[in-house]
Structures are given as C-alpha cells and as structure tokens.
Amino acid sequence: MDKTGQAPAPSKDYHQLLVTHEEIIWRWWKISMRNNAIVFPGETKIPSEDFDYDDRLQTEILRIFGKETLEEVRRLSMCKGDCLASLPLTVLMQIIASLPLEDILMLSQVNHYLRYVTSLDSLWKEVYINLCGAPNEEIRSYANENGWKKTLFTDKLKLRVQLARRRKDMESPKANTFITSSDYIK
C-alpha cells in the first residue's frame, strides 16, 4: 500500500504512507511559509507487528487519511503475506458467517485480527440468521441487549424462559413506578 496526501487545512504539510509485509513507513514534509524556517523532511519506520502499539502513528494516519485507511493498515499489519485478513471486513464476515460453528470458533484462535472479527456482534447476528432464520422482534431486542453470540448459544428452552421473564418484567406495574422518599418512611 502506498498512499500520499496533504494534511487537512490549514496545514500545508505533505505525508506519505508505505505499508509492506515487514514494515510501515511514515514520511512527512513540513511546509512553512516563513522565510527563515528551515524544516527537514522526517521518516518513521516500524515493524508491522508493532503497529498496534504505536498510538501516535495511528492518530496521524487517522487524521491525514481517515478511518478506512487506518483499518486497512491494521489489517495489513496483522497479516504476513496473503491471508484472510487482507480482505475487506464485510467480505471476510460474509465468508466466516457461512462456515460451520466449530470452524468459526477455531478460526478465532488463528491470530489477533481473526479473533477480533469473530468477536464482532454483527458477525454473530449473520451466523444466527444463517442457522436459525430471521429472528422475531422479541429475539432481536433480547440479542441487542445481551449479544447475538450469547443468544445463539443459549439453549432454546433457557432462551424461552429468559424471554418469558423479560416479558413479565416489562409488563409488571412495578417496572413503571418510581420509589419516593415517603415510601421509605412507611
């Protein structure tokens, strides 16, 4: 990956980002309108595996090139050579969601990036829909509160009991009343 561009206004500085399998190179050229200012170009090189720990470089990439570029650099830095992590996140999630559950759980142990992807709630929502069909509004609400992965792995009988309790709690009049200080005095 090779990306170049100018910093957001009012800055006139120019930046270059090079990402290889081994390292990430960040170069900058300070542009000053002052006649007496002598500013030399700069360069930072870090090994790809150290990118997650360099908050300053991540902040600069986000500021200059945006969130999409930062996410792409993260993917590439976690991947040595050609691998699944080099795919766009949406494509990778579609592939993973179509796998058997055992394979998804094993894939989460491959590397940090795949562990991150397999922990995303949006992935588990797709897996739930693939395995169980479209959820009704009650299940969708429960999953939004508790997570799609937990909803998927909850036993059906246990899930029915939890949904019934939730329904009962929502319908009970106590859920809609407030306790006042006079209630404590009695």
Give a yes or no: residue 58 inside a domain.
Answer: yes
Per-residue pLDDT tens digits of the chain, which is 186 residues long: 888 888 888 888 889 999 887 889 999 888 877 766 667 888 999 998 888 888 999 999 999 999 989 988 887 887 665 567 667 888 889 999 999 988 998 988 887 788 889 999 999 999 989 888 888 898 899 899 989 998 888 877 777 788 888 888 888 765 444 444 444 344
pLDDT of 124 reads 93
Give a yes or no: residue 121 inside a domain.
Answer: no
pLDDT of 182 reads 44
What is the rounded CA–CA span in Å between residue 161 and residue 163?
Answer: 5
pLDDT of 83 reads 66
Phi-psi region of 13 (alpha: psi -120 to 50; beta: other; left: phi over 0): beta
Give a yes or no: residue 6 inside a domain.
Answer: yes
Q: Which amino acid is at 37?
A: A
CB 76, CB 109: distance < 8 Å: no
CB 117, CB 93: distance < 8 Å: yes
Write out the residue range of the structural domain in which residue 46 sits: 1-81
Give a yes or no: residue 166 inside a domain.
Answer: no
Q: What 3-state class would DSSP assign to 134?
A: coil
Give a yes or no: residue 18 inside a domain.
Answer: yes
Q: In what order do the strands lie in the sheet with 2-6?
A: 2-6, 14-19, 23-29, 42-47
Give a yes or no: residue 176 inside a domain.
Answer: no
CB 1, CB 68: distance < 8 Å: no
pLDDT of 52 reads 83
Cα Rg, the chain, nearest whole Å: 25
Give a yes or no: residue 172 inside a domain.
Answer: no
Give a yes or no: residue 137 inside a domain.
Answer: no
Number of domains in the chain: 1
